[in-house]
Structure 1
Amino acid sequence: MQENKVKFIWFFLHIVALSAFIEPIQAASSNPPLIEGGMDKSSVVRIAQTGIADLKTAADKSVDHSKSLPAIVPESKSDANKQLASYYRRSDGYATNPESDPPRYVRRLSDIGIPALSDLTWLDVGLEHRTRYEWRNNDIRRIEGGEDNPIFLRHRAWIGIRDILDPFRFAVEFQDSRVVNNKHAITDQERNEYDLLNAYGELFFKKGLGVDDRNQDRPIRFRVGRMAYETTDRRFIARNEWRNTTNTFEGFRLNLGRDVNDWELDLFGLQPVRRLQTKFDVANDHLWFFGAIGHWRKWSDIVTIQPYYMGQKQSADPNGFTATNQLDREIHMPGFRAYGKVGNFFDFDASYNHQLGYSGPLRQDAQGYTVEVGRTFEHPWKPRLTGFYGYASGDRDPNDGVDNRFDRFFGFARPWSADHYVVYENLKAPKIRFDLQPMQKIGFELTYAWYFLASKRDRMFDILDGNISNTIKDPGFNRDRTGQSGDYAGHSLEGRIRYQVTPKINAVIGYTHFTAEDFVKNRIAASPSCASGNIHPCVDHRSGNTDFLYFEVLISLL
């Protein structure tokens, strides 16, 4: 334990030194003074030049990926008027606002603070580094107990061209993801060296559909190539910002309108990209992911409505790593999401989805929904209280010819549980949450969550090496087909502190304690014990209670 403390202290001092080195460089680059919330004046000028679509991007740049700081206050009445002209309203739901496009660490070259480059408004650039240290004690994702102290390293770079060659535009985003000091087998969730997240060409017609009734351009955008992006509440299409590696796809995307308009339609046909860790990633030729997403913002001061249809069609891969990969599958999912505010009383964010089709010889019939209601109280520290309930069906009977397990497609996992023990499948998850922000640059979060299986005869996704990866074979310890292990998985206390060190450096420290209940305890007890010495795979028998501590620094280098 003493050795772990020394490692953590060394890591912390390393980050502090790096921050101290970068901050003087930023000051020396002649950056303009900051206005409230961390946006520099050059960003305000760019907003005035390019409109409200860039306000959302610029305002998001200095905030944490999964919980935004308060909105930037505009500098002038003209900027405020542009905000009012936009139909776009952010959800107040936890971590439900998608990443901007391009990502928030990207800036126009004219905005990086070098006067000689002030005319290069057509070139987008970005450099980002993230380091995260984790201490995990008796992590139930693993069949092996004890302590683990991995350090995750992630680097990103972006270059893109807009405006100057219109209607043609393009962008490339590079990422390198690695992990060190990890005692377990490395998977594609942790490592993906020297690869591309985005590499696409785009036709952009600024006024392809004229203007809306607030005189805002309604463009047409057609994108082809490799792309990583997020949409709706990120539960089905997400970059997965918390994870060290990132979801990406190859195919096409057609957008009619944009986020500031009263309506928008997003059409896509994509093949997910296989993360190959040390080789160049390739598309999964056996799987197509497709859909249409509508955005209705005409009444966005009260409610934004997002009706959508998503689906995936998979042809069996005889060499597939998992049993699911080796099946013919076709899933169709109609759904909708609605979020908004009821006066000054409370805000809400709700969704419902139903899945139909087949999975191999089984008929698919599953559903999932989420409801979040919160209120931010009138106080300088912005206290916020939230209640959340999420449900995703599980397979009720392994022998009835129907698969009831809800499929989360390519959505994010972290907001379901910071320690990544549950995802949006076979789950009933009530939560209460409290947020506090005593200053613009610091925020506190506290969450208590309970986790139950929707079906006690189905699996708990990411425990006892039951995760779906291309590295570790699932030993099957995370499911009890008899249902005798119960349905109460456990409960957890999660806390997090976010601190914006400078406009370009964000630090986060978090802690989660998970208390195991019947299902987790019984699955550990029912699995072969490693104490026998002869059976493999085996499980270190332990209580199932875990601790998870992490410290993360995210640095935008431009």
Structure 2
Amino acid sequence: MYRPPLVALLPLCLIAAPAQAQDGDLEVEASIRLRVEGIDGQFRPNTADMGALLLRTLVSAEYDAGPVRIGGEIQDARAYFDRAPSSIGTTEIDTLEPIQAYVVAELGEKAELQVGRMTMDWGSRRLVSRQNFRNSTNAFTGARLDWQPSAGNSITLFWTMPQDRRPNDREGILDNAVELNRERPDQQFFGARAMMANRVSGASLEAYLYRLVEEDAPNFATRDRHLWTGGFRLLKTPNVGAVDFEIEAVWQQGTTRASAADRTDLNVKAYFMHASIGRTFAAPWSPRLILSYDRASGDGRGSNYGRFDTLFGARVFEYGPSSLYGPIGRANLSSPEARLEVKPNKRWDGYFAVRPLWRENATDAFASTGLRDASGATGCYAGTQFDLRVRHWLKPDRVRVAAGAAVLAKGNFLRNAPRAPQNGNSHYGFAEITYGF
């Protein structure tokens, strides 16, 4: 199978600055990111301790013709030197893919309609996101209507077909094979969201209702999810010397199957909630202290299915690194966190976080670890995560380096659950450089 090398994209990248300089109606941007990461003390069953080199190249362009804009973006995400049995999949590998190809039409001064392939990044990003840390991102094909009646207030209606990332077979993934992603009518994601500024004591209010419908397709089995997901978020943005907060509550219902191999539809009743309070201090390095709590339902022994589905959400911004790591997700989770963020100047930023971890339900699989103790004998305490990250702009808005690490101090469940690796605590680290132009 033909695999064009990464350098095949470089000619596209090199035209970015001249194209924008010569014609103000055409904007071209590109970035290349190289990241080295590794993990030992693996928490996943039957998965090796390993390291990998991850490369991601993005090239995007948009032509503004007045009331109409035409744009597109190519993503090339690859991984090398991983070790079998590996956890690397379509979240790390999506080669030479046009993730965006769209037309945007202005409908007056306050509304616009976008049609085609697109990425979406909304609100808290817990349910609909464009992935940043992850090597490949979520993308959709469809239409969205955005209306902004006044500053800070907006309404969005959308209908899409989520793109299935390809290749999705083990040989193709390990080979960084080139295969176009696919969208299909058997999987649809649509809904509405509204954002209202300064609604409650200076805080903004977001409300949304999403619908996900999927069914099996030839040679493609799914869990046949038919989910309604509705919620709200109340947010007060951080300011120096002031208290900020965020509250988000989500309810989920519908039907699903326990796995793609099952044929029994289960009634879904699940939930997720997040609450945090923070303060930015008027002191050197602009320290900000945040205390938060997350709770996501798990599946119990009753007739209903209770495991929360985070849909197309991101998790790195509050749960630590994903990729080769990523034990924490919004499913069967009860977890507080204490986090300290610092920003010494415009070029430097960093954080350190401590997060104890419990299972919300003692009989369901814990978060994203793949480990389950159906008897509940190992209890709810899974362990405690410590993680940190530091970033620095070597050249503002052009070259940035970052490094981070995480330690998962395993509790009774992660040490003694059935199939749990007997290899001590998990340790993860990464270092990366991003060049944008």
Is TM > 0.5 for Structure 1 vs Structure 2? yes
Q: Which of 156, 166, 191 is matched with 1:291 structurally?
A: 191
Q: Which of 424, 430, 449 is matched with 2:336 structurally?
A: 430
Specify the SS of the correspondent of 1:274: coil
TM-score relative to the length of structure 2: 0.86
Residue in 2 aligned with 1:148? 50
Q: Which of 224, 244, 253 is matched with 2:144 structurally?
A: 253
Give 1:301 shift.
8.2
Give 1:236 shift.
0.5
Mapped contact 2:161–2:185 kept (Cα < 8 A): yes
Give 1:118 shift.
4.7
The 5 Å alignment of 1:160-179 reads 160-162=62-64, 164=65, 166-179=66-79
Residue in 2 aligned with 1:402? 304
The 5 Å alignment of 1:340-489 reads 340=236, 344-360=241-257, 361-397=265-301, 400-414=302-316, 415-418=318-321, 419-463=325-369, 466=370, 478-489=371-382
Mapped contact 1:457–1:479 kept (Cα < 8 A): yes
Give 1:264 shift.
0.7
Post-superposition CA distance 1:495-532 (Å, at most 9, x none)? 11111111111111111111101111112xx33xxxxx
The 5 Å alignment of 1:126-275 reads 126-145=29-48, 147-162=49-64, 164=65, 166-184=66-84, 185=86, 186-207=88-109, 219-257=110-148, 261-275=151-165
Q: Distance in 2 between matches of 1:170 and 1:427?
A: 42
Q: Distance in 1 between matches of 2:423 and 2:319?
A: 24
Per the alignment, do residues 428 and 342 of structure 1 end up closer, same or farther by CA in structure 2, a change over 3 Å counting?
A: same
Q: Distance in 2 between matches of 1:149 and 1:342?
A: 37
Specify the SS of the correspondent of 1:519: helix
Please say which structure displays the higher CA radius of gyration: 1
Specify the SS of the correspondent of 1:257: strand
Larger % of helix: which? 1
Residue in 1 aligned with 2:412? 518
Specify the SS of the correspondent of 2:344: strand
Post-superposition CA distance 1:25-78 (Å, at most 9, x none)? xxxxxxxxxxxxxxxxxxxxxxxxxxxxxxxxxxxxxxxxxxxxxxxxxxxxxx
Q: Distance in 2 between matches of 1:445 and 1:182?
A: 28
In the alignment, structure 2 segments of 5+ residues that lack a partner are 1-12, 168-177, 258-264
Q: Distance in 2 between matches of 1:540 and 1:348?
A: 38
Amino acid at match of 1:501: L
Amino acid at match of 1:337: R
Report how many aligned residue pairs link the two structures: 399
In the alignment, structure 1 segments of 5+ residues that lack a partner are 1-105, 208-218, 467-477, 528-538
Per the alignment, do residues 460 and 179 of structure 1 end up closer, same or farther by CA in structure 2, a change over 3 Å counting?
A: same
Residue in 2 aligned with 1:333? 229
Identity, in percent, stands at 24
Q: Distance in 2 between matches of 1:254 and 1:387?
A: 36
Mapped contact 1:240–1:413 kept (Cα < 8 A): no
Give 1:299 shift.
4.6
Give 1:437 shift.
2.1
Mapped contact 1:290–1:311 kept (Cα < 8 A): yes
Q: Distance in 1 between matches of 2:45 and 2:410?
A: 14
Specify the SS of the correspondent of 2:416: helix
